[in-house]
């Protein structure tokens, strides 16, 4: 599946963290980027001035109470909060392809029911691979995450990612 055919659904994490490092442009290139109402509410509590209009293909979606209710038990097993539940419900209901989330439990649940997942680091790497940004810009954004964002990354993880892309062409 080509990148511009993918329907992605946002959870709060990547939206907040990309905004913190000035990289909302990395959400471009999807066919649609769905933003559930509960996720937008959570994001705006942390980033009231976020410029959602900068995200190409952004589509706000309303929750379907019956669809969310059918997922309550599974969501409780994974320990999901309202925004995460809303994002995964939207993923299923709108025939999405990929959950954009940094939350380990949300990622695990999405993968368990057959969806792709990508977090903030993955979005930066995707931007580099799609030539939205250069390798140097990708490295700079990755290095900015622990300094300018609230994303919690294990230092070893980030060092490993930086080491892996160091010798890659481009």
User: Residue 141, SS3?
Assistant: helix
Name, in order, each residue with C-beta under 8 angstroms of 132's C-beta and a sequence gap of 6 or more: 25, 26, 28, 29
Confidence at residue 1, expressed as pLDDT on a 0 to 100 scale: 65
Is the model's pLDDT at 13 over the cut of 80?
Answer: yes
Instruction: Please report the domains of the chain, with CATH numbers, ordered by start residue.
Output: 3-119 (3.40.50.1010), 121-166 (no CATH)
Confidence at residue 143, expressed as pLDDT on a 0 to 100 scale: 96
Beta strands 98-100 and 7-10: pairing type?
A: parallel
How far, in Å, are 22, 27, 68 from residue 122 at the CA level? Answer: 16, 11, 27
Residue 47 token pair: 């980033």
Q: Which ranges of the chain does DSSP label H, i.e. alpha helix? A: 12-20, 37-46, 65-78, 82-93, 104-112, 120-129, 135-148, 155-166
Tell me the per-residue pLDDT of 107-160, one tens digit each, with 9 for 90 and over. 998 998 899 999 999 999 999 999 999 999 999 999 999 999 999 998 799 999
Is the model's pLDDT at 73 over the cut of 90?
Answer: no
Tell me the per-residue pLDDT of 23-54, one tens digit each, with 9 for 90 and over. 999 999 999 999 999 999 999 999 999 999 98
The residue with greater pLDDT, 170 or 4, is: 4
pTM of the model: 0.90
Name, in order, each residue with C-beta under 8 angstroms of 68's C-beta and a sequence gap of 6 or more: 85, 86, 89
């Amino acid at each position: 599946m080509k990148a511009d055919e993918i329907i992605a659904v946002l959870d709060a994490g990547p939206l907040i963290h990309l905004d913190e490092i000035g990289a909302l442009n990395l959400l471009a290139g999807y066919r649609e980027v769905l933003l559930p109402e509960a996720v937008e509410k959570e994001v705006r509590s942390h980033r009231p001035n976020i410029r959602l209009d900068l995200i190409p293909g952004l589509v706000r979606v309303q929750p379907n109470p019956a669809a969310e209710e059918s997922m309550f038990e599974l969501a409780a097993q994974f320990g999901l909060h309202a925004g995460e539940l809303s994002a995964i419900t939207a993923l299923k209901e709108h025939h999405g392809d990929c959950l954009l989330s940094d939350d380990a439990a949300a990622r695990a649940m999405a993968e368990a029911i057959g969806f792709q997942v990508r977090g903030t680091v993955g979005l930066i790497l995707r931007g580099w691979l799609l030539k939205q940004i250069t390798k140097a810009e990708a490295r700079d954004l990755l290095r900015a995450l622990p300094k300018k964002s609230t994303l919690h990354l294990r230092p070893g993880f980030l060092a490993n990612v930086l080491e892996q892309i160091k010798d890659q062409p481009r």
